[in-house]
Amino acid sequence: MNELPDTVFALPRLALRSPQQPVLLHKPQRAAPDTRAGLTVHWARHLEEVRAAQRLRHDVFVGEMGARLSTPLPGHDIDLFDNFCEHLLVRDEESGQVIGTYRVLTPAQARRVGGTYSDTEFDLTRLRAFRERMVELGRSCVHPDHRHGGVILALWRALGDFMTRNRLDTMMGSASIPMSHPGVPGGSAAASIWRQLSATHMAPVQYQVQPRLPLPVERLDGSLEVEPPALIKGYLRMGAKVLGPPAWDPDFNSADLPMLVRIDELPARARRHFLER
């Protein structure tokens, strides 16, 4: 595994994967406290920590967004990609509760599972030049009582360290826009956000992708002045590019916008935050 040069650790208690596909976790092993925000950030080391992330995801995606999920364990958001991903957790130091999470699919694990989650939503053929050093970020969510900049910043700092240690240079994923936007007819918020960003933040045409199940933006009101979700605004501050029009995800009741961040294209301010050691 050339892209994982640091020591890796088998986690035998995480028994979701077959013996031929061991679970790997990359340094740092110990939790990294963020004393300014009262947060602790670490990578999941065993099954129960992954379960904590899956419970938070279920609470947010089902409880808030109205997702309709088929899950083998009630109260948990679980899919086949979880078993191949690294799971990043943010805990509240006082309560110990998991309040934020990301999952990360490395190039090696994407090859093992046969692709990324985003491949199921978009034709990513035009990204093939990035694949060997590209990670997929997914299932990002933060507990509703902790949606401040500190949690997202803590996650991104840990991601920056992960990218640097493993010599990876590209991040991509789908940023969700809820279809049930307050005071806006279903889908019109996503169509309006797409209209705004397609005029200002599109990737070069050679990297643009197409959704497999497009949101029918041409039949929706795209003229509204709607603020993008906080996660999308954060990606844009990091120099992210929009790769194409949104896909419609009926199970998650969302429109998913494909986005790409290149480490060497980070703006100076984002570079200081993201790559801070």
Report d(CA 224, CA 115) in Å as an integer: 35
Going from N- to C-terminal start, the domains of the chain cover 8-274
pLDDT per residue as tens digits for the range 84-114: 999 999 999 999 999 999 999 999 999 999 9
Helix or strand holding residue 211 (H, E) = strand 210-211
CA atoms within 13 A on the CB side of 196: 17
Residue with the bigger pLDDT between 149 and 147: it is: 147
DSSP character for 224? -
- Give the confidence band of 277 by pLDDT, cuts at 50, 70, 90: low
- Asked whether the predicted pLDDT for residue 18 surpasses 60, the reply is no
- pLDDT above 90 covers what percent of the chain? 66
CB neighbour list of residue 271: distance below 8 Å, 6 or more residues apart: none
Quote the pTM value.
0.85
- Give the confidence band of 6 by pLDDT, cuts at 50, 70, 90: very low
Report d(CA 115, CA 111) in Å as an integer: 6
State the pLDDT at residue 23. Answer: 36
- Give the confidence band of 142 by pLDDT, cuts at 50, 70, 90: very high
- Asked whether the predicted pLDDT for residue 120 surpasses 50, the reply is yes
- Asked whether the predicted pLDDT for residue 60 surpasses 70, the reply is yes
- Asked whether the predicted pLDDT for residue 22 surpasses 90, the reply is no
- Asked whether the predicted pLDDT for residue 38 surpasses 50, the reply is yes
Greatest distance between any 2 Cα atoms in the chain: 52
Residue with the bigger pLDDT between 9 and 167: it is: 167
Amino acid symbol at 22: P
Most confident of 42-46, 150-154, 234-238, 265-269: 42-46
- Asked whether the predicted pLDDT for residue 172 surpasses 90, the reply is yes
The sign of the CA dihedral 125, 128, 131, 135 is negative
**Least-confidence region, from 6-15, 194-203, 206-215:** 6-15
- For the domain spanning 8-274, the CATH number is 3.40.630.30
